[in-house]
Amino acid sequence: MLNKSLAQILKPNFSFTPYLFLLPALFILGLTVFWPALQAFYLSFTRYGYDITEAPSWIGLSNLQRLWTDPIFWQTLRNTLLYLACVVPILVIAPLGLAILVNGKLPGMNWFRTAYYTPVVISIVVAGIAWKWLYAENGLLNQVLQTLKLVQPGSGIPWLTIPELALFSVMAVTIWKGLGYYMMIYLAGLQSISPELYEAAALDGSDGARKHLDITVPLMTPYLLLVAVISSISATKVFEEVFIMTQGGPRNSSKTIVYYLYEKAFEELEIGYACSIGLVLFLLIFVLSILRFIVPTHNRELD
């Protein structure tokens, strides 16, 4: 009996069955993600000649040295970090406020949820073109400002054509389109909070807006961190809005690192240099991703 129990303890419980089910997905990921990523890593140390159909030549760290002295690269990196610093805090805080509002049981609340979520399902191409029209000097936004007498009649603010405003105007589109998506993530978390916690907090004098500081925010910490990481990665990889609305201008003021990568790879055909930019982008996203595991996600105890 003892020998049988010992044999059961020492018997390995490892099974290949779950991994067999994962093999098709791993094969597709390896073919479409991991292998191209390894190729891009290799190409970042090479350079193509005038004939792009020929094999690239190995140049070692020359592309990285060129990045170090490239003023446009550093400008696009600053633009990307500024984009990150401005967009992410808004997309972490504002959707939580919207989720709290639409989590009520008032009549017609489903219509409000749909209205807030509608920008998410709109194509970014359609949204970019529509906002570009809104930002035009004779567009709706300037017309409203003229009606309110905030600008002179017949004139308008050049939202997309001056360096001081172009990048912030593009940020507004990213925020508008992302609010509903992150709101739904928060809404799922809010609906998992027991109403009894709010009732108990009300007995202790925590009511109104204070109950959200005492109950909602601590319990929503994992969701807040999740949204922070997802929105940070999305803001770092922003491309479509810039491509449609400003083409990186004026004077590179709205050019992000992904747009610069696209420009080098597909317009100037500097594949090796573009892969070096992609390597920097990968490191930046990797750092943002591991922050999710470094920052503690436990909630404080609620009495």
| Residue of 173, 175, 182 whose CA lies nearest to 126 | 173
Domain ranges of the chain: 58-294
Check residue 130 and give its pLDDT: 93
Check residue 137 and give its pLDDT: 85
Check residue 33 and give its pLDDT: 87
Model confidence, pTM? 0.85
Check residue 236 and give its pLDDT: 92
Residues 6+ apart with CB under 8 A from 133: 139, 140
Indicate the fold that domain 58-294 takes in CATH.
MetI-like fold (1.10.3720)
Produce one character per residue of 214-247: b if its CB has 16 or more CB atoms within 10 Å, e if not: bbbeebbbebbbbbbbbbbbbbbbbebbbbbbbe
SS (H, E, C) 242-287: HHHHCCCCCCCCCCCHHHHHHHHHHHCCCHHHHHHHHHHHHHHHHH
Residues 6+ apart with CB under 8 A from 73: 67, 257, 260, 277
Per-residue pLDDT of the chain (303 residues; tens, 9 = 90+): 545 554 555 455 667 788 888 899 999 999 998 898 899 999 999 998 777 777 888 998 899 999 999 999 999 999 999 999 999 999 999 999 999 888 877 777 788 888 888 999 999 999 999 999 999 888 889 888 888 888 877 778 899 999 999 999 999 999 999 999 999 999 988 888 888 887 777 777 777 777 778 788 888 888 998 899 899 999 999 999 999 999 998 889 999 999 999 999 998 889 999 999 999 999 988 888 887 677 655 444 444
Q: In whole angstroms, give the CA distance from residue 212 to residue 218.
A: 9
**Residue where the block lists tokens 């696009």:** 76
Find out whether 190 and 113 touch, Cβ atoms under 8 Å: no
